[in-house]
Structure 1
Amino acid sequence: MPASTAHSRIQRPGKRQRLSAAPNPGTPATSSTTYKVTGLRVLRSEWAKFWSLRSSWITLGVAVFLLVLFGAVAAYTYSPDAAAAGGPPGPGGSGGDSDAVSLALTGVTFASLAVGVLGVLLSAGEYSTGMIRSTLTAVPRRLPVLWSKALVIGPIALILTTLGALAAFQLGTPGLDGEQISLALSDDGVLRSLAGAGVYLALVAVFGVALGVLIRSSAGAIAALVGVLLILPGLASLLPDSWYDTLSPYFPSNAGSAVYALHETSGSLSPGAGLAVFAGWVALALAGAAFRLVKTDA
């Protein structure tokens, strides 16, 4: 073989050499492209993660179903005589005169447990499976993960539970036809109360996310959620009457019930004040969750 031919074969680049050669300046180097972690990308990741879980669909469906079911049943089983003798409780379990809105929102307590548990599972569930380590490795700044989880579940719960409250009211309206407490959707305060129920339940869902990150245990966070929303008002009744009357309106569930109550009752907060107090509780839980997320290991 001539030396010149052998030399040309040695110098001719092979396929592997061509692949490792420097790319053309006009061709983008996709293999070495790096992506910056942004809040929007973290939000999109949490959105995909939320809808990929079967528990999200099931729990949201249960929350809306309970809201509609109990509201409709309460309207169709309403009896003026029974109401005069003691009556079913008003929104959030507080006493008071019944009205079409309070009957429609009878299921809010049950729905709040469902969306609150969903919020806990969305956050504490990652600690149970160990997936939180991968999440925080991908997002080293950590806090965007917490904010994204809250931003995902809050609007979803707001929209679906508001629609559920509207459906419960509309389904129950024929059952109250001719009754003194019957109301129309256009009556003063009705839409505000139904929308207020959605706002309250959305905040409960965010509260569940905060408790999940703060406690890092699904069982523990669910127990804390039930204790704060349901057990705490009952235990507070053991306090002296003067203390109870002063503190009771500021308990989370009582402040939340004021958000969607049609009429302000004696000793309760106004809707605006109730929203501010309950949002303050949620903000406090989020602050505690943020502090622990940043300061302690996963």
Structure 2
Amino acid sequence: MTVVLAELTKLRSVASTAWSLLSAVGLIVGVGILYATARVSHPPADPAGFDAVSVSLAGVQVAQLAVGVLGVLVVTNEYANGLIRTTLAAVPRRTPMLWGKAAVLAAVTFAVSLPAVLAAFLAGQSVLSAERLDTSLSEPGVARALVGGAGYLALVALLGLGLGSIVRHTAGGVAAVFGVLLGPQMLTGFLPAGLADDLYGWLPSPAGLAVTTIRPDPSLLSPSAGPAVFSLYIAIVVCIGAWRLRSRDA
């Protein structure tokens, strides 16, 4: 508990935390409204297959970059200013320190993201109602998608934490976050169409974002399988980060 409280104090005392979370909130809501407005301007030919929830949560796909960067900074800021030596002197066993950072980062990211996701949903549905494309919070799968969207962002923050622990440099960690979240989709563009379609749903970002859908999408895994695959990716990265933390001096 002492480690968790110490990590919470450090997270709150860094200006980058507030700016990253504020950026994430603005992107979740702002992009969601913009995309909903664009879809109203070009309504679908078949409204039955229209996923109003994923449209209003489109901002989650952009906000993931902000929270991923936050996760990197939680680790690399301490290496940059030398505070990591003080931290490790206070907590000689290194992995409890990393688990404390992970617990605080995930909890704070989820707590901030959930109201933003709900606001994006309500605002997006208000826009979509102009063409009667909206849905309600009581519809099956909607609550799961909203909570899942916030959970996805919490996992992305942990991805940044793991990559920051591996790389230990802010620029390299941020580049790694962008590479993991965006790079695989770009690379599949060079593959044959059939193979690219088969692989797409298993890529990190598409797998995790499957939880924000309520309509079947053949290009994605199911809303339960997708997050499970994404969680596995995160677990691997964080475990490698823990190994690096234990095997290398600060």
TM-score band w.r.t. shorter chain: over 0.9
1:146 corresponds to 2:98: yes
Quick one: percent identity of the two aligned structures? Answer: 42
Query: What is residue 33 of structure 2 aligned with on the other side?
Result: 72
Matches within 5 A, 1:230-245: 230-245=182-197
Which runs of no fewer than 5 residues in structure 2 stay unpaired? none
Amino acid of the residue matched to residue 190 of structure 2?
L
Is the Cα contact below 8 Å between 1:75 and 1:104 reproduced in 2? yes
Deviation at 1:78, TM superposition (A): 2.8
Is the Cα contact below 8 Å between 1:154 and 1:206 reproduced in 2? yes
Amino acid of the residue matched to residue 69 of structure 1?
G
Deviation at 1:248, TM superposition (A): 2.0
Amino acid of the residue matched to residue 134 of structure 1?
T
Residue in structure 2 matching 1:107, options 53, 59, 65? 59
Is the Cα contact below 8 Å between 2:208 and 2:230 reproduced in 1? yes
Query: What is residue 17 of structure 1 aligned with on the other side?
Result: none
Residue in structure 2 matching 1:217, options 157, 164, 169? 169
When the two structures are superposed, what TM-score results if normalisation uses the length of structure 2?
0.94
Residue in structure 2 matching 1:186, options 119, 126, 138? 138
The number of residue pairs the alignment matches comes to 249
1:202 corresponds to 2:131: no
When the two structures are superposed, what TM-score results if normalisation uses the length of structure 1?
0.79
Q: 2 CA distance for matches of 1:101 and 1:138? A: 46
Query: What is residue 225 of structure 2 aligned with on the other side?
Result: 273
Q: Deviations over 1:70-107 (max 9, x none)?
A: 1122223433645449xxxxxxxxxxx54321221111
Query: What is residue 111 of structure 2 aligned with on the other side?
Result: 159
Query: What is residue 22 of structure 2 aligned with on the other side?
Result: 61
Amino acid of the residue matched to residue 214 of structure 1?
I
Q: Deviations over 1:111-143 (max 9, x none)?
A: 100011001000111112221111111111110
Q: Deviations over 1:211-238 (max 9, x none)?
A: 1011111100110100110122111221
Is the Cα contact below 8 Å between 2:51 and 2:215 reproduced in 1? no
Deviation at 1:195, TM superposition (A): 1.1
Deviation at 1:178, TM superposition (A): 4.6
Q: 1 CA distance for matches of 2:12 and 2:202? A: 34
Residue in structure 1 matching 2:9, options 48, 51, 62? 48
Report SS of the residue matched to 2:156.
Answer: helix
1:260 corresponds to 2:212: yes
Larger C-alpha radius of gyration, 1 or 2?
1
Is the Cα contact below 8 Å between 1:71 and 1:104 reproduced in 2? yes
Is the Cα contact below 8 Å between 1:258 and 1:264 reproduced in 2? no
Q: 1 CA distance for matches of 2:153 and 2:143? A: 16
Deviation at 1:259, TM superposition (A): 1.6
Residue in structure 2 matching 1:125, options 58, 68, 77? 77
Report SS of the residue matched to 2:224.
Answer: helix
Identify, as 1 or 2, the structure richer in helix. Answer: 2
Q: 1 CA distance for matches of 2:235 and 2:220? A: 21
Query: What is residue 202 of structure 2 aligned with on the other side?
Result: 250
Query: What is residue 237 of structure 2 aligned with on the other side?
Result: 285
Q: Deviations over 1:245-276 (max 9, x none)?
A: 33222110010111211223113211111111
Residue in structure 2 matching 1:176, options 128, 132, 157? 128
Is the Cα contact below 8 Å between 2:209 and 2:227 reproduced in 1? no
Larger RCO of the pair (alpha carbons < 8 Å, separation 6+): 2
RMSD between aligned residues: 1.8
Q: 2 CA distance for matches of 1:80 and 1:60? A: 30
Deviation at 1:199, TM superposition (A): 0.8
Which runs of no fewer than 5 residues in structure 1 stay unpaired? 1-39, 86-96
Query: What is residue 31 of structure 1 aligned with on the other side?
Result: none
Q: 2 CA distance for matches of 1:56 and 1:244? A: 36
